[in-house]
Amino acid sequence: MIKTPSSCDGVLFRGRKYSPGERKGSNSMVIKKVSLETVCGVTSKLPDTQLPELAFAGKSNVGKSSLINVLMNRKALARTSAQPGKTQTINYYNINQALYFVDLPGYGYARANEQVKAQWGKMVENYLHKSGQLRLVFLLIDIRHAPSENDRIMYHWILENGYDPVIIATKLDKIKRSQVQSQLKQIRTGLGAEEGIRFIPFSAQTKQGREEIYRIIDAILEENV
């Protein structure tokens, strides 16, 4: 069950309701203003936001920053760390003053020490448990590989906190079209995913999958108008 808010300030994207001056009939999400508004570290208190939050979770190097940049129509607002596994913050991106994209710390970096790994886990679990505005979690998994143990842990954390994740199978352009369905089946089986869990193959290079993600975002916002 996806938790939903009781109200929202309005839909600024492709839904049936538009703000003044919004162009109808657009084929893609209309991004008017985005900003990195809040960065939370290990000891930081989560912000008391008043807008719906969509969170992005996944292991280091799975393409989280690339996905967020594609969705925001920005080249590098969400930056990939030069040293994988070094990002230890929760980043809140304000989108059109209508919602937040929340970038959770990447997990599973092999060279991180156990203390750092424990901090990442604590931060993510704390966010899933305490965020009052979280509406949906996108869980990113590399389509080329079976889910790792950390992927399975994250999947079950999301479920245990009352959310049905949307699985984004990243790096679609790295495999042949004929392999897509078998790779998705491998991910579904590896996670032990329940019926009804949505899977979206995605490529940051070709942007395939972006429109389907936009439709999910639109639907969430429309439910909360």
pLDDT digits (tens, 9 = 90+) for 66-75: 999 999 988 7
196 CB neighbour count, 10 Å cutoff: 6
pTM score, whole prediction = 0.84
Q: Where are the alpha helices (DSSP H) in the chain?
A: 64-72, 114-130, 149-160, 180-191, 210-223
- Asked whether 131 and 138 are in contact (CB, 8 A), the reply is no
- Asked whether 106 and 68 are in contact (CB, 8 A), the reply is no
Of 16 and 82, which is predicted with more confidence? 82
d(CA 35, CA 78): 10
pLDDT value of position 8: 31
Q: Which two tokens stand for residue 158?
A: 């999301």
As a whole number, mean pLDDT of residues 48-77 equals: 91
